Structure 1
């Protein structure tokens, strides 16, 4: 039977088990997960937080990570500026990036979510407001959410992947994991 792990990846942790590129060792999955034979299904940048799925099943890994399957990924995004309806509509219709148009996304302004504090904290600027949006995409280009929000004039300050398909972070503390099904 396939093993599936739902991990709440903290800020600064690499989505891999080793760090061979940095002269100063950065935190990796091996600092949090001591389960042999599992590998990440997709990735989450070091400066992003949230749900990372790991499995020992290659077919499941492909189904989760491959954009052909259009598995929805929902992010809670703290942005600099105010997400008015015009900017949200741009995200909903798809945004032109250097590598082409994105697929339409679900995008809504939300109240600040009850999340754990980030370490280090997001920079605070008295003169620039920040807001939160919930963004659901069905593809996975490199740094796509950050590039989409920047393209509509809402630079990302904090990015937390909340769910992938039916799997979510609900009840998983940062740096912790649980078995999924």
Structure 2
């Protein structure tokens, strides 16, 4: 009986403390069969990437473990240009700035060794502002962008929200790097998706 109790407790402790759900896709659970058909599915072992081009005005990308089917990564971005309400209360794609994020969450977040704080993607400068959600192994990363031609020292504060990544910390450690540098004033944040 103790063994069963210990196994049950171990199973419960391995689950995320919060079940983050975005347009029917839940982090840590398989993709439900009742969702609309995806626009694309790609397998890159050991993960499967599923993409929906437009669900309530938002593009959704889910990456799931190929063996368990559990979603380990969700990315949300607007399906069309222009301001679109994000899945996080008070944030708007194309309008919320990186400075707004820093003010709201109290710091500049953490930095993963592989992706760093910024990158260049074609004609766009992208900035990564990432936080651990307190009491959980979930990381949220807000990606803000600005035209590369406009990027200057300090202009990142005005870059606007392009996408939100929510992922299990273990997965991000594999793909973005094991070291998480904490910037001054950093502390894990309360769940930004809670009502």
Same-fold status (TM-score > 0.5): no
Q: Which has the larger radius of gyration?
A: 2
Per the normalisation by structure 1, the TM-score is: 0.32
Q: Which has the higher strand share?
A: 2
User: Which structure ranks higher in relative contact order (CA pairs < 8 Å, sequence separation ≥ 6)?
Assistant: 1
